[in-house]
Amino acid sequence: MKTKVLAILYFLTGLLYILIENHSSFLTEVIIKALIIPVLILIFIINLKPFRNLLTGLMFSGLLFSWAGDVVLQFNFIPGLACFLIAQIMYLTAFLMIPGKNIILSRRFYLLIPVVLYGIGLVSLLYNDLAAMRIPVILYAVVILSMLGAAINRLEKVNKSSYYLVLAGAMLFVISDSAIAVSKFTYQFELSSIVIMSTYVTAQFLIVIGFIKQIRGDFE
């Protein structure tokens, strides 16, 4: 029950930020955005001990760096990007460290083809507009797409519910960050902020719930 209540609060906080973004004071936006991930951290804590083992510690650290990224990004893009880069590395490492068969390395490497093609297409679209940001953005793209690849690689390591929740979350995270990159460097498309935040908030939730299901199975 606590998880369900907090989940509702989490999405309501995210929705509130989407509604006030660009329509309120800068301070109000920062405060509301800074409240989103802490609710998800609470969900994590009441279901798992954050540092019961290395895997939970990595995921918890990923959430903390995501929270820092949410706040810092409001003030400066480069440090905010660095926070999210570390968060992605935390998630990537946690996914790779799960015991079991590495299907991508063993026999299903073709599952990475769409990820690689997507990355090439995204970088090609952004490349001429990146200027001094070319190396940081490409580095971040490689890391987040590696995170997605690691999520795909969980296929035979975890239960199906956990697998598909985390995979969907990883895909939405890639979509969200792709929208940020396109909007910031190439084309400020209509409703970009809604696309970015709605996919981001959902992505983080799915990854966390999927991870909890990996550790605990079904839970309330």
**Burial of 26 from C-beta contacts in 10 A (0-12 / 13-18 / 19+):** exposed
Q: How far apart are the first and last CA of the chain?
A: 6
pLDDT digits (tens, 9 = 90+) for 51-83: 789 999 999 999 999 999 999 999 999 999 999
For residue 219, what pLDDT is reported? 47
Map out the domains of the chain as residue ranges: 2-216
- Measured over the CA atoms of residue 206, residue 208, residue 209 and residue 211, the dihedral's sign is positive
Q: Which residues contact 114 (CB under 8 A, 6 or more apart)?
A: none
The residue behind tokens 């279901």 is 47
pTM: 0.93
Task: From residue 16, give the alpha-carbon distance in Å to each of 124, 153, 164, 214, 218.
Answer: 34, 35, 27, 30, 29
pLDDT digits (tens, 9 = 90+) for 90-142: 999 999 999 988 887 777 888 899 999 999 999 999 999 998 999 999 999 99
